[in-house]
Structure formats: C-alpha cells, structure tokens
Amino acid sequence: MKIIVTGAAGFIGFHLCKNLLKNKKITVIGIDSINSYYSRSLKKKRINILKKKNFFFKKIDLINKKKLDLIIRKFNPETIYHLAGQPSVLYSFKNPYSYKRNNITATEVLCKISKKYKIKNFIFGSSSSIYGDQKRFPIKENFKKKPKNYYAITKYKCEKIVEKNFKVSSVNFKIFRFFTVYGPYGRPDMFIHKLLNALKKNKQINIHNKGKNLRDFTYVDDVVKILINFSIINNKVKILNIARSKPVKNIDLIYKIKKIYRQKKENFNFIKTVRGEMLKTHGCNKKLIKNFKKFKFTELDEGLAKTIKIFKKYGI
C-alpha cells in the first residue's frame, strides 16, 4: 500500500508516519516544506527518526503544482493524509497571508491533483477552532460554526474545498476535527511544551485568563489510531470530531504537569484573555465511538507522563 502524508515533519504528521511505518507492507512518502514558523531543527529531527526503507521524504511547497503533480502521478498513492498547514491562532493576526497561502491555496492545489488522479482516499485534518465559542456542550459536528480568528476561518474554508472537490467523485473523503492534540515531540509554541520549556529553564509561566480556559486535551496516539483505521467508519459519515470529551482547566493541567515534572516552585504570571482564543473546547465523540465501538481514549495523566518522559530524555 502506498500512502502520502503532507505535513510529515509536523507534530501529528510525524506521529502518523511513525505508526504507519510499523506495517512493512506500507510505503510512505512524507511531504513538508520545513518552513521556519517554528524550529526547523525539531522538524529535521522528526524526519531523521522516520527515515526507514519504506519512508521517503520530499521537501516541497504544496502550492508548487508541477512538483506535486509529478510526485502523485509517479507514486500513485492509494491514500493521501492532508495534515500540512499553517498552525496557531495568535500568529494568524500577525501574518494572515501565510494562512491563505499555506491552508487555503495549498488545499485547493492538492485536492485538484488528487481528483485528477482519482485517489481512492483523501483524509483531511481540520480543527476544533472552527466551532468558536459555543453555549452548549459537548460540541457536536452539526453545531453552527463560529470561527473567531483567521486560522479557524481558513480551516473551515479548507473543509469546504475538500467537500466541493470530492462530494461528486469516486474519492472517499473524511474530515477529522482535532481537539487540542498533545504528546511527545510536540510543537514548542503549544501550551504544554511552552510550559515544559519554562519549567526546564526555570522561567516565569504566562497564564491567560487566570487559567480558567478549558481544553479538551486529546493524546496524539489516539488521534493517529483513528486516522489509520478510518476505513471502518461508515462511508456516509464524512466529518468527525476527535476528542477525549473530558475538558480540563488550564490551571489544573499546570498543577498536573508540575507534579509529574516534580517542580514545586510557583512561578506564574497571570495575563488577560488573548484575542481570538476560545474560552472552552469540549467535543462530543459519540459519533466517533459509534463507529469505533470499544475505542478507549488515553487518560490525561498517562498521556502527560509519556510526554514528559520524552521531553526529559530528549528535550523535545
């Protein structure tokens, strides 16, 4: 089986590739532009971990139509996982063009080429941020979308691009909305790894909204298991939340991490709520569980322990 993963040097893309490669019958081409949004060194470390006989890496920009067309035509994959994109809420206020280019335009290019070569399966990684602030919880897939920032707007537009291209085609597509994914080798700009780096360097920790924000933290291995086994999902089901569905206050998360990390010193700096940030994420996973039956999500304490163990060992 041949599979392409875009964003292979990214956090979720790396973990997906690592797990796919456990099956020696699978050949993976990882695509990534290795941009400078965050540490290129970390991205290169992830790729070096993946370099096995059945993994090939292509450093290209997805909006390069000629190169992308050539790769897909020659490799002829059965499945494409589209996980590449410009992440982060805060950065979208500073550089909206990057989101239009790397999310919207890149998805348009990839979808058109995938449709041209009649790819069997197209899996898109979306975000819980498209829901914005809701009044009812847990958030179901059919709730009204209220994106609060340009990052969320572009992810929702990408969903529409995927649907438009593949709704009337032979391509089997799925859209997964991720809820606050965390785990080993995480992005340094995300809350948990920012906190771990602050603890390591004994620096002050900035906490928005007095730590009252709630997040539905979902362990990366759980996300990957669902992505790999997408074929067991009913063909009529096209959009699914991936959420543990047990939100935790950020301040409680901090104390859990400090306990596991064995750091007792209080070094907090409470700051106001950040523009465009959601106050609460809490996804409904009933639709997901209906398709995966006995699936069990990793408990937060267990996932944090695994994350911190890798961080202490490798510093990433």
Does 272 have pLDDT greater than 80?
no
Q: Looking at this protein, which amino acid is placed at residue 264?
A: K
Per-residue confidence (pLDDT) for residue 192, from 0 to 100: 95
User: What confidence score (pLDDT) does residue 40 get?
Assistant: 94
Each residue's pLDDT tens digit, 162-206: 999 999 999 999 999 999 999 999 999 999 999 999 888 888 888
Domain chopping of the chain, boundaries:
2-183+216-245+282-298
The set of residues, in sequence order, having a beta carbon less than 8 Å from that of 138 and lying 6+ positions away, is 243, 245, 282, 283, 284, 285
Known catalytic residue at 151: yes
Exposed, middle or buried, 25 (CB in 10 Å: 0-12/13-18/19+)?
Answer: exposed
Cα(246)–Cα(17) distance, integer angstroms: 27
C-beta separation of 89 from 238 below 8 A: no
Q: How confident is the model at residue 208 (pLDDT cuts 50, 70, 90)?
A: confident
Check 151, 182, 185, 219 and give the catalytic one. 151
What pLDDT does 94 receive?
85
Q: What's the mean pLDDT when you consider all of the chain?
A: 94
* CATH, range 2-183+216-245+282-298: 3.40.50.720
Q: Is the pLDDT of residue 265 over 80?
A: no
